Amino acid sequence: MIKYLKRILIGPGTEIRILQWNCNGIRTKRDQLRQLLLRERIDIALIQETHLNTHHSFHLGPDYVIHRKDRLTHKGGVMSVFHKKYSRHYKMNIRTPVGVEGQSWFLIHNGFSKLMLHNWYCVPVNSKHNR
């Protein structure tokens, strides 16, 4: 599993752990993701290429809030997962450039720490779906 874990200090003694992962299909990797979130104490996961459609359900349990942006025509899509302790996250309506799919978030932690997150995926130029 290829992934990227980033630790960000957002205040005195306050660290957020963020996972970025191009999963190439998430449905069969749900248990792997759940174990990784718990083992690494990940607070936010920004996931690309989920391959979910609107009729697919996907849950990680009561400790996580999931926001999806499924691609409607073919495989793709992005998903942002927040641990429930980060309940003050707000979707930003930022238009992505052509060939980019994504979500943007504004996070407020403990009333003062602020963080802007972008979960953007650039569809490869050689992709038949990017023409």
The residue whose two tokens read 């980033």 is 6
Domain boundaries along the sequence of the chain: 4-130
pLDDT in tens, 66-119: 999 988 777 889 999 999 888 788 999 998 888 888 999 998 877 667 889 999
Q: Which of 99, 96, 60 is nearest to 76 (CA)?
A: 99
Residue 126 main-chain phi, psi, to 5 deg: -85, 5
Whether residue 39 is predicted with pLDDT greater than 70 in this model: the reply is yes
CATH ID of 4-130, from 3.60.10.10, 3.40.50.280, 3.90.1150.10, 1.20.58.1290: 3.60.10.10
Q: What are the Cα distances from residue 35, in Å, to 11, 40, 103, 115?
A: 27, 8, 24, 25
pLDDT value, residue 131 = 42
Report the Cα 87 to chain-centroid distance in Å: 15
pLDDT in tens, 14-36: 788 999 999 999 999 999 999 99
DSSP 128: G
| Burial (CB count within 10 angstroms: exposed 0-12, middle 13-18, buried 19+), residue 46 | buried
Whether residue 1 is predicted with pLDDT greater than 80 in this model: the reply is no
Residue 121 main-chain phi, psi, to 5 deg: -125, 125
Bridge pairing between strands 113-122 and 44-48: unpaired
Q: Which of 80, 88, 64 is nearest to 10 (CA)?
A: 88
pLDDT value, residue 12 = 73
